[in-house]
Amino acid sequence: MTAVLPERRTAYDVERIRRDFPILHRTIRGGKTLVYLDNAATTQKPQAVIDRLIRYYSEENSNVHRGVHYLSEVATAAYESARTTVKRFINARDEKEIVFTRGTTESINLVTNAWGRRNVGAGDEVLITAIEHHSNIVPWQLLCEEKGARLRVAPVNDAGELILDEFAKLLTPRTRIVAFGHASNALGTINPVKKMIAMAHANGSVVLIDGAQGVPHLQIDVQDLDCDFYAFSGHKVYAPTGIGVLYGKQALLDAMPPYQGGGDMILSVSFEKTTYNALPYKFEAGTPNIEGVVGMATALDYISAIGLENIAGHEQDLLRYATARLKEIPGLRIIGTAAEKASVISFTLEGVHPHDIGTILDQDGIAIRTGHHCAQPLMMRFNVPATGRASFGLYNTREEADALVAGLRRVVEVFRG
Amino acid sequence: MTDLRELYQQVILDHNRNPRNFKELPAASKKVEGYNPLCGDHYTVFVELDGDVIKDVSFTGNGCAISKSSASVMTTTVKGKRTDEAERLFDIFHKLVTGETVGLSEAELGRLAAFSGVSEFPARVKCAILAWHTLHSALQDEQEVVTTE
């Protein structure tokens, strides 16, 4: 039985985009074309980003905010102009609200430490949801353990969608902060974040969004969302690894103590008293990941030039197409069938463990993720030890979805004879 | 496809589909858990000793085809053997899946030979070796959960 497939979009020139990504043109495993479907883990980098890193080290490398010499001025200007790029990209009010971190994980840990330890006390509650990545669970657990606070978890339905009524019930007078993913890395579910933020605010709770899987797929406007904190990683949006962002409303960031002490985050230091630097430098102790910051700005410029709406349109087309095609495979079950999804498909194949699927696909040059996706509680919710996960990015094609389906048919062949 | 058939040999597919000694052993004198948290392979190995002879051995749990078939073949291989022989086989198996010279013919290796293809797949060595490490730990009287990640 062949499913009826949606019509192909033609406006989006994916072949032209693919030419910007050198790694997509290498062969692996004895001449197989790379089919990279692990974008929710990390994305590949366009030539523009790679070139930017080379240019930084060839022409601009210096420490920032310190020297009076020429290169330090150039590096500082590049670093600070990247902050403006990020501010515009997520429509923050001010550059002061953009803190550079190592990634989403560090951004969340910054909030649990600097905001959480001051504002969450014994008997208070922190509310998260069942679809969270470990990075938006464990930092809150650490905080709750230290403070004697309670971590509460809003459940999801069998499609992997948040049950809003239950979420509403879990908002109590003790709920100090609500933290949830914009989109699920394991299932693809896109949360109704604007509504959830409004509900949390009506309850007097602060809101943090884990945007690691939101930023690559959705146009983010932090002022329109009205979230208090928004965390994301560069490497999931075609930027280098080791760089990320914490957006925070200025009033909140101002009231928070520093997260780490060191150079660059101070105004003056004596052994008696240290005065902290202004925002956002208060939260950027030590020499930062300068090349990561400038590389991220280039990546954001790159995707802005294509347009988030165009990217989303292309990815949604791939999602619909791949979902329909995967359903043709007997014994394949898609985990996560929310109405609103990012281009992530988690699945199991009857009688075949995901790791065996991963190994067999890899022999065909197809890269998917297998395992629990750093979301073990969610795997337990769906009663599976692990899943296979194909995640699509702006450069993937329908042909690659076809290659995945053909590869999975070979898996079935190997295992069922 | 050739490499894949090397990895997923018939013995492995058969033992994955129909694992032998796949049950709890109420009379077990030793019971140790093996768990690779990153990939999720999770087994319990049961050993019933009669002096220094492995009178019976079994396992329960879940994981990929490589880990499950390896556990199954292990139980059929060491059942009835002395513990020092089992330890020697563990050493041989370890060498086999990590690509070291074993110095035994395929006939001498028996069903263990089916795992020779694993050495071509470095990411899967930890799957193949998990049950063996767990057995080793049981024979050494160690109680901690074993991991090969």
Pairing of strands A387-391, B53-62: unpaired
The answer to whether A355 contacts B8, with C-beta atoms less than 8 Å apart, is no
Tens digits of per-residue pLDDT, B25-35?
Answer: 999 999 999 99
- The reply to whether A74 and A122 lie within a common domain is yes
- The reply to whether A185 and A258 lie within a common domain is yes
- The reply to whether A317 and A340 lie within a common domain is yes
| pLDDT at A7 (0 to 100) | 55
For residue B51, the one-letter residue type is G
Instruction: Give the orientation angle of helix B83-97 with respect to helix B65-78, to 10 degrees.
Output: 150
* Catalytically annotated residue among A120, A253, A374, A401: A374
Is residue A41 included in any domain, yes or no? no
Looking at chain B from residue 61 to 80, which residues have their Cβ under 8 Å from any Cβ of chain A? 62-66, 68
For residue B30, the one-letter residue type is K
CATH of domain B2-139: 3.90.1010.10
- Angle among Cα B130, B132, B135 to the nearest 5 degrees reads 110
Of A359, A385, A386, the CB nearest to B121: A359
| pLDDT at A1 (0 to 100) | 44
The answer to whether B38 contacts A371, with C-beta atoms less than 8 Å apart, is yes
Is residue A6 included in any domain, yes or no? no
Pairing of strands A387-391, A344-349: antiparallel
Cβ neighbour number for residue A155 with a 10 Å cutoff: 13
**pLDDT band at B46; cut points 50, 70, 90:** very high
Residue that is last in its domain, among A240, A272, A305: A305
Please indicate if any CB of chain A lies within 8 Å of the CB of B123. yes
Ranges of residues in chain A with a pLDDT under 70 are 1-10, 417
pTM: 0.93
- The reply to whether A275 and A335 lie within a common domain is no
Is residue A44 included in any domain, yes or no? no
To which residue do tokens 């884990």 refer? A210
- The reply to whether A28 and A62 lie within a common domain is no
How do the domains of chain B map onto residue ranges? 2-139
Residue that is last in its domain, among A305, A324, A347: A305
The parent domain of residue A240 ranges over 49-305
Tens digits of per-residue pLDDT, A116-173?
Answer: 999 999 999 999 999 999 999 999 999 999 999 999 999 999 999 999 999 999 999 9
- The reply to whether A289 and A313 lie within a common domain is no
- The reply to whether A280 and A357 lie within a common domain is no
The answer to whether A372 contacts B40, with C-beta atoms less than 8 Å apart, is yes
- The reply to whether A198 and A157 lie within a common domain is yes
Tens digits of per-residue pLDDT, A307-361?
Answer: 999 999 999 999 999 999 999 999 999 999 999 999 999 999 999 999 999 999 9
Q: What are phi and psi of B148, to 5 degrees?
A: -120, 15
Instruction: Give the orientation angle of helix B65-78 with respect to helix B10-17, to 10 degrees.
Output: 90
CA distances A367 to A39, A51, A395, Å, are 9, 25, 14
- The reply to whether A114 and A216 lie within a common domain is yes
**pLDDT band at B106; cut points 50, 70, 90:** confident
Number of compact structural domains in chain A: 2
Annotated active-site residue A374? The verdict is: yes
Residue that is last in its domain, among A290, A305, A320: A305
CATH number for the domain harbouring residue A317: 3.90.1150.10
Locate the chain A residue with the closest alpha carbon to B2: A363
CATH number for the domain harbouring residue A299: 3.40.640.10
Report the C-alpha gap between A302 and A394 in whole angstroms.
11
Tens digits of per-residue pLDDT, A191-200?
Answer: 999 999 999 9
Is residue A329 included in any domain, yes or no? yes
| pLDDT at A39 (0 to 100) | 98
- The reply to whether A210 and A354 lie within a common domain is no
- The reply to whether A336 and A298 lie within a common domain is no
The token duo for A398 is 């329908």
Is residue A39 included in any domain, yes or no? no
